[in-house]
Structure 1
Amino acid sequence: MKIRLSFMALLGLLTTGVFAQHSEQNHGERFEQLGTMLRSPNVYRTASGAPGHMYWQQKADYKIDVELDDDNQSIKGSETITYYNNSPDQLTYLWIQLEQNQRGKDSETPKVTESSISRGMSLRQLQGILWHSDDYAYQLLDVKDKNGNALPIALNQTMMRVDLPEPLEAGDSFTFSIDWSFNIHDRMSFIGGRPGYEYFPEDGNYLYTMAEWFPRMAVYSDFEGWQNKQFLGRGEFALVFGDYEVNITVPADHMVGATGELQNHREVLSSTELDRWNRAKETFDTPVVIRTQEEAEELEKGKASGTKTWKFKAENVRDFAWTSSRKFIWDAMAVEQGGNNVMAMSYYAKEANPLWGQYSTRVVAHTLKSYAAHTFDYPYPTAISVEASNGMEYPMICFNYGRPDKDGTYSEAIKNGMISVIIHEVGHNFFPMIVNSDERQWTWMDEGLNTFMQFMAEQEWDRNYPSRRGPAHKIVPYMRSEKHLLEPIMTNSENIIQFGANAYAKPATALNILRETIMGRELFDFAFKEYSRRWMFKHPTPEDLFRTLEDASAVDLDWFWRGWFYGTEPVDISLDNVAWYKLDNRTPAERQEEAAEEAERNETYVSRSKNMEDIAETYTEADPATSDFYTTYNPFEVTPQDEAAYQNFMSSLNDEERELLNSNMNFYELTFSNVGGLVMPIILEWQYADGSTEIERIPVNIWKLNESQVTKVFAKEKEVKQVVLDPLRETADIDESNNYWPRQYQPSRFELYKRSGAVRGASTGSNPMKRAQNK
């Protein structure tokens, strides 16, 4: 409905500044600064989010000799650790992480995992309840100082305390050694997990992915002391930077890939492979195959006698992982990064071809370039992708899935799933391998940030890439969940019900919303780069991220962190009402004419219409004595006084006021309610009667004085046909049915027969390639 608005009344509204009085406060909670919810700044971590002038972190150097027993699927090793106490504190003991113990018979993991019996149970489900009789925990742990004297230790599940013979003072170092061994488990079984082996019965060979395979130093930090929370299988790792020298002894016909740079190419590669390797170092456009599929298949047929030792060095890394198999095909190409050539490489068995040979190393190279553009140049010499029906990351090496069918065909979902997991796991080199957050406490700081970066890399790979996480509307199903199924992002990894949505998708979505909607790309990209560069090779906390993004952008984001990271409220802004007003610039005659027409409309009803025929003459019509002044009075007649008042008003206007009066402006008063609770900017699309459209953005501060309901007037030259709230689906609004004026109602549809299948991008799906070949 269009309402005429008096120009004098409009002037009064614009100039008097009258505010309605509320009986109770309805604002403040969602816009309060985080304050004491964040750790206080100090000399180690500043209020700006940067490392302080007295920032410190520990260092641990490793020298490791390890031997793989391919007949018995076990390893044994010996390591020497030099631990540097760069803290200002005196240490009387050290904590060592023993993640392999999580796979032992007495592990707490199955004890704290809920289980139930259903009418139909798979063997894998039942085995998970029974756990296992084999013991894959460390079988030997011999800890000695550098002089060979036994050191007292205390074992607590996946943590080992080493008691020092004398306190380790600030600035000093301590060197000690550990001998150890364990049996490698089948990671394709119900035990699962990141490391282990896969057995290929067709050719009788194994493919080993060795991770979390040696006792590793726990982190001692300024904000937490020792990070010695137990490893239950989900919460990943807090680790110390250091330098590694690792000698890996394997069967002579195995190919080994590992963190760091190979030091003895001539001893472990054939002359042909060495020539190809040297050519790959100068090739930037396409991968060079160093060990071919035909050569790998020949090696699969028989086991060579003897062993070879592969020697690797890695500087300033937080961990070390490796892979070994005689099944491996190996290809590589160079990628320029910051004036240096990085070797992008892939290791994969024949079962992964042709998919991996075509895509894997190219995706590795693309990922390094994409991530570097948004953060910093990749500083390490290599980046390796290993096909291992897995998905896990370590410095310079990661294990990924994506295997085609045996006939070499594959679905588009398999291809996209493989590309996504390679981008994701290679991307982890940036977060947390370099920007080294504590994954066990804050999973989202590596998984969420990396998933956000993965989304951008996917879109840069293919313009129509079906990204599963990142766009705001794709988090809506999670945000709609019942309250008891939701936790804040700022939750420990072991306490999260919907882990993937909470730790991966929601923080990635939040960062994308910051970039696209709240801050804008220019401000966000600068601030995110600043965070990444500030905390390269350091240990950031959530406070450091929050503070840096605000410090580098001048955008107050406390309301955003509070809502998206510390809360579980969803976004649901409703466009409740639209009132349309026009300025009353009519002449007295025009006003009276419209008033007369309105009065006539108001007095037109069924009884009056019928009475015009049924009542031949009323009493006043029959008796002239009932006549008076009002019998002939016309209330809609324009009087000389009306004309004079109008002329006086018009002559009082200046040019600017007269122009406004004659502008024929439309005023739309919109009322919004915050149904979901999570405050967000109001984004409107105005669809005009002439077919044109306009996007208008109202900052989130519109909610500051009333977090439940706001009203705002918009002046428009054109007449509006429709208003749409959040037209580009930027805010993760969980109910779009209340985003329209006039309301739009969409019918719900159902299928008589529901098709089976998974979403595009998952590791399943139809295989048109196979169907095409079978024509």
Structure 2
Amino acid sequence: MPLLCCGFANLLMAQAPNPNGSNHGTRFEQLGSMLRDPSMYRSASGVPGPKYWQQRADYDITATLDDEKQKLTGSETITYYNNSPDPLTYLWLQLDENEHDLRSDNQSFDGSKMDDKMSMWSVNRVLKEDKDLGVKIVKVADAGGNTLPYTINQTMMRVDLPKTLMPGEQVRLKIDWWYNISNRMSEGGRGGYEYFSEDGNYLYTMAQWYPRMAVYSDFQGWQNKQFTGRGEFALTFGNFRVKMTVPADHVVGATGECQNYKEMLSSTQYQRWQQAQNSKEPLEIITLDEAKQNLESRSTASKTWIYEARNVRDFAWVSSRRLVWDAMATNVEGKKVMAMSYYGPEAYPLYRRYSTKVVAHTLKVYSKHTIPYPYPVAISVEAANGMEYPMICFNYGRAEKDGTYSEATKNGMIGVITHEVGHNFFPMIVNSDERQWTWMDEGLNTFCQFLTEQEWDNNFPSRRGPAYKIVDYMKMSKDQLEPVMTNSENIVQFGPNAYAKPATALNILRETVMGRELFDFSFREYARRWAFKHPTPADFFRTMEDASAVDLDWFWRGWFYGIEPVDIAIDSVKWYRLDTQEPGAVSRDKKAEYDRDADHISRARNRAAGVKFAVDQDTSLQDFYSKWDRFAVSDKDKARYNEMYASLSPEEKRLYDSKKNFYEVSFSNVGGLVMPLIIEWTFADGTKETDRISAYIWRKDEYHVTKVFAKDKEVVAIKLDPQRETADIDEENNSWPRVSVPSKFELFQQQRGPRGASRGRNPMQAAREGSN
């Protein structure tokens, strides 16, 4: 049965071959040696092995905050448990505050330049004024008080043990230290203080504030890579008991649960705390009026707040006299969790309405997609910042002095609270090594942030997650790109690489490659397997495949180990219909072809000009052929067709009767990153249909693919990736016929100010002014 080609469109694209000379076999090979070999500690399925182990460190800490000199003095006892099979002759601790010490490499190893406008942070990086920052170790001793030798190498400290710490043994260290607290707003960094000149008070966000045990693991030994201010932390789980002595008019919020609220709070405040245990709405434990009264006080007395936390990897706290504190009880998977917020008067219009409810919402959505939140508390602190610790995080979001704020400020605040609270799950519980693989922390968390934002409000303008939002990054020049599997210190475009691209990849896996059911089960399985453990990328990759039966090596290879973009083009479309040999159809086709060939330009113009033709003026010139219908269907033609049709099998008759349209479509992989083909067909009657073809269509030729589709109706347009699911960087070659996509540019005025603060006139102000 011959096929007749009735329509043809062709657009050719050139594509260079693979470096190995083949047109296939690169992108679909298994990762193999790119992943760490499985062992008794980590299995090939992605589950912790039968001999998996990890260390433990318990802390008993006392600290005193000097609000006059902005100085912290501390003393700690660390009990370190060697659960490894290795004898240890020394221990490594992190001294992260030494990132501010001028002798640390991070103070000089980045390039710099002068701009027309310079922030104090930028100027300080050039001036290198010695402000005596960094940790001052007073003493390191064993349990008996005997001094132990130690060596400080920038942000790491090695303590040499008097005798080898054998497997199964424990050792106790006593460390005394102090440091001058840095101005976080000008010096940078996660912890430090912010000074409020209008009331002369400080807000202290105490983070990375004590000597912390580095991780010793089966896959790398000691993680003692220097802290440079970017790559975050690899930490050991343990239990904490912390006593913080601060001015008596300060309020302290911290990791864990306070053991002495009754002594720290007034009777009225403590009663409010008791009421909050059953409150379904945020209840102010310390009210705005009380916070404003505290702004005027300058107590010379002190109080000691006591907090305890179990099975956490870190401890952070906030202290200030300028804090409102609200709380409410939240049911998370059948367990009560206290969702709480601490914030200053300038954040009250936003935080009082939203913060604690965003905390509660985040816990519920993350618990649904990972594991039930295991801790008793989750806290959001407004600090013109964005940083996370177990059970407490520091966020931004401040209103104008008149109490108004922009929609962008509100949404930014909701986004950052969601993100930082979400970090409780990644990496505070699923405890990956942030120093090595930022994406396992930030990328996974940003993905869950996107899910949570979308369940907060169907119209929430998420900055990261949808595939099309990563396009601008993926189309950048190669010298600005590096694989997601890159150490954090070596990344040029840090936010897009470590946050946005992995989050986008996971969303594409969920919505386009695996489907929600398979993805969600596998993602939860990963969180369940590695909760309170130290996973690596291989453990994540293997678990996602093990739990879903989906081979994803091609996806990890492209999205995590490569820098190629997605750019798939429609090269050509050929339209075929079955030549049924039905006499009437044959006659119509021949007539159409005859008319097409006969109707040349001269003929048309002669008719239009009213030319008097000879055969019309002299009818004697007309004969048989003048009235003969050369395309008439004879009885013999009909009989031959009926005889042929009667001889067909039932299957052949169904095809004949279907009047199917066949479309041969050729595609090119211009960008290099293989992805599924999502094809939207628009038919002549205006209806649409979508076909989804697995990325494995590229496995035998990674650059060019041709596929035939059978359609009941005539197609007038074809579009690739109609819902922008694959991050295709060139949408103009996604359509047949071609459709031009307009580009836009925007003029903007650069603005500077505290992170998360509203700036300038906003619609809320305009509405108020209009009503007056």
CA spacing shift, 1:355–1:611, aligned 2, 3 Å: closer
Q: Please state how far the C-alpha of 1:651 moved relative to its aligned partner.
A: 3.2
Distance 1:38 1:656 in 2: 51
Q: Aligned residue for 1:261?
A: 257
- Does the CA contact (< 8 Å) of 1:585 and 1:662 recur in 2? no
Q: Aligned residue for 2:274?
A: 278
Task: Describe the SS at the equivalent of 1:357.
Answer: helix
- Does the CA contact (< 8 Å) of 2:430 and 2:527 recur in 1? yes
Query: TM-score, structure 1 length as denominator?
Result: 0.91
Distance 2:334 2:428 in 1: 21
CA spacing shift, 1:119–1:755, aligned 2, 3 Å: closer
- Does the CA contact (< 8 Å) of 2:341 and 2:356 recur in 1? yes
Deviation string for 1:195-216 (max 9, x for gaps)? 0001111111111000000000
Q: Aligned residue for 1:544?
A: 539
Q: Which moved more, 1:113-122 or 1:148-157?
A: 113-122
Deviation string for 1:278-315 (max 9, x for gaps)? 110111x2011111111111121121121111111110
Q: Aligned residue for 2:248?
A: 252
Q: Please state how far the C-alpha of 1:586 moved relative to its aligned partner.
A: 3.0
Query: TM-score, structure 2 length as denominator?
Result: 0.91
The reply on whether 1:566 has 2:561 as its aligned counterpart is yes
Q: Aligned residue for 1:686?
A: 681
Q: Please state how far the C-alpha of 1:335 moved relative to its aligned partner.
A: 1.0
- Does the CA contact (< 8 Å) of 2:677 and 2:693 recur in 1? yes
- Does the CA contact (< 8 Å) of 1:413 and 1:763 recur in 2? no
Counterpart among 45, 62, 65 of residue 62 in structure 2: 65
The reply on whether 1:240 has 2:236 as its aligned counterpart is yes
CA spacing shift, 1:645–1:277, aligned 2, 3 Å: same
Q: Please state how far the C-alpha of 1:104 moved relative to its aligned partner.
A: 1.1
Q: Aligned residue for 2:667?
A: 672
- Does the CA contact (< 8 Å) of 1:417 and 1:763 recur in 2? no
Q: Which moved more, 1:357-366 or 1:110-119?
A: 110-119
Residue correspondence of structure 1 range 578-657 to structure 2 within 5 A: 578-588=573-583, 590-591=585-586, 594-595=589-590, 597-599=592-594, 601-602=596-597, 605=600, 646=641, 649-657=644-652
Residue correspondence of structure 1 range 281-430 to structure 2 within 5 A: 281-283=277-279, 285-430=280-425
Deviation string for 1:469-528 (max 9, x for gaps)? 000011111011111100100000000011000000000000001110111111111110
User: Which amino acid in 1 is paired with 2:23?
Assistant: N
Distance 1:110 1:641 in 2: 95
Distance 1:355 1:764 in 2: 11
Counterpart among 658, 661, 667 of residue 663 in structure 1: 658
CA spacing shift, 1:746–1:260, aligned 2, 3 Å: closer
Counterpart among 162, 166, 170 of residue 169 in structure 1: 166
Distance 1:568 1:533 in 2: 31
The reply on whether 1:41 has 2:63 as its aligned counterpart is no
CA spacing shift, 1:658–1:71, aligned 2, 3 Å: same
CA spacing shift, 1:611–1:62, aligned 2, 3 Å: closer
Q: Please state how far the C-alpha of 1:673 moved relative to its aligned partner.
A: 0.6
Deviation string for 1:418-453 (max 9, x for gaps)? 111111000000000000000000000010010011
Aligned residues with identical type, % of pairs? 61
CA spacing shift, 1:408–1:530, aligned 2, 3 Å: same
Q: Which moved more, 1:643-652 or 1:215-224?
A: 643-652
Q: Please state how far the C-alpha of 1:336 moved relative to its aligned partner.
A: 1.6
The reply on whether 1:132 has 2:129 as its aligned counterpart is yes
Deviation string for 1:529-569 (max 9, x for gaps)? 00001111000001111111111111110000000000001
Counterpart among 527, 549, 553 of residue 548 in structure 2: 553
Distance 1:441 1:750 in 2: 37
- Does the CA contact (< 8 Å) of 2:343 and 2:383 recur in 1? yes
Distance 1:581 1:336 in 2: 61
User: Over aligned residue pairs, what C-alpha RMSD do you find?
Assistant: 2.6
Q: Aligned residue for 1:456?
A: 451
User: Which amino acid in 2 is paired with 1:665?
Assistant: K
Q: Aligned residue for 2:14?
A: none
Q: Which moved more, 1:198-207 or 1:597-606?
A: 597-606
User: Which amino acid in 2 is paired with 1:264?
Assistant: N
Q: Please state how far the C-alpha of 1:678 moved relative to its aligned partner.
A: 0.5
Deviation string for 1:294-352 (max 9, x for gaps)? 11111211211211111111100000001101111111001123433111111111121
Q: Which moved more, 1:336-345 or 1:481-490?
A: 336-345
Q: Please state how far the C-alpha of 1:275 moved relative to its aligned partner.
A: 0.5
Counterpart among 208, 212, 218 of residue 216 in structure 1: 212
Unaligned runs of 5+ in 2: 6-17, 616-627
- Does the CA contact (< 8 Å) of 2:405 and 2:758 recur in 1? no
Q: Which moved more, 1:346-355 or 1:468-477?
A: 346-355
Q: Please state how far the C-alpha of 1:768 moved relative to its aligned partner.
A: 1.0
Counterpart among 687, 691, 704 of residue 709 in structure 1: 704
Q: Please state how far the C-alpha of 1:595 moved relative to its aligned partner.
A: 3.0
Distance 2:288 2:562 in 1: 52
Deviation string for 1:611-660 (max 9, x for gaps)? 9999999xxxxxxxxxxxxxxx9998989997786555323311221121
Residue correspondence of structure 1 range 18-33 to structure 2 within 5 A: 25-33=22-30
- Does the CA contact (< 8 Å) of 1:577 and 1:671 recur in 2? yes
Task: Describe the SS at the equivalent of 2:190.
Answer: coil
User: Which amino acid in 2 is paired with 1:223?
Assistant: F
Unaligned runs of 5+ in 1: 10-21, 618-632
Q: Aligned residue for 1:18?
A: none
Q: Aligned residue for 1:159?
A: 156
Q: Which moved more, 1:664-673 or 1:644-653?
A: 644-653
Q: Please state how far the C-alpha of 1:58 moved relative to its aligned partner.
A: 0.3
Q: Aligned residue for 2:224?
A: 228
Distance 1:593 1:307 in 2: 100
CA spacing shift, 1:261–1:516, aligned 2, 3 Å: same
Task: Describe the SS at the equivalent of 1:313.
Answer: strand
Distance 1:194 1:747 in 2: 42
Distance 1:680 1:568 in 2: 14
Q: Aligned residue for 1:727?
A: 722
- Does the CA contact (< 8 Å) of 2:101 and 2:107 recur in 1? no
The reply on whether 1:96 has 2:93 as its aligned counterpart is yes
The reply on whether 1:84 has 2:91 as its aligned counterpart is no
Q: Please state how far the C-alpha of 1:250 moved relative to its aligned partner.
A: 0.6
Deviation string for 1:123-142 (max 9, x for gaps)? 54322211322121112341
CA spacing shift, 1:634–1:368, aligned 2, 3 Å: closer
CA spacing shift, 1:610–1:86, aligned 2, 3 Å: closer
- Does the CA contact (< 8 Å) of 2:30 and 2:554 recur in 1? yes
Q: Please state how far the C-alpha of 1:105 moved relative to its aligned partner.
A: 2.3
Q: Please state how far the C-alpha of 1:75 moved relative to its aligned partner.
A: 0.7
The reply on whether 1:737 has 2:732 as its aligned counterpart is yes
User: Which amino acid in 2 is paired with 1:238?
Assistant: A
- Does the CA contact (< 8 Å) of 2:4 and 2:576 recur in 1? no
CA spacing shift, 1:166–1:448, aligned 2, 3 Å: same
Task: Describe the SS at the equivalent of 1:304.
Answer: coil
Distance 2:513 2:120 in 1: 49
CA spacing shift, 1:348–1:586, aligned 2, 3 Å: same
Count of aligned residue pairs for this structure pair? 739
Q: Which moved more, 1:592-601 or 1:316-325?
A: 592-601
Distance 1:34 1:561 in 2: 8
- Does the CA contact (< 8 Å) of 1:682 and 1:698 recur in 2? yes
Q: Aligned residue for 2:465?
A: 470
Q: Please state how far the C-alpha of 1:606 moved relative to its aligned partner.
A: 5.5
Q: Aligned residue for 1:206?
A: 202
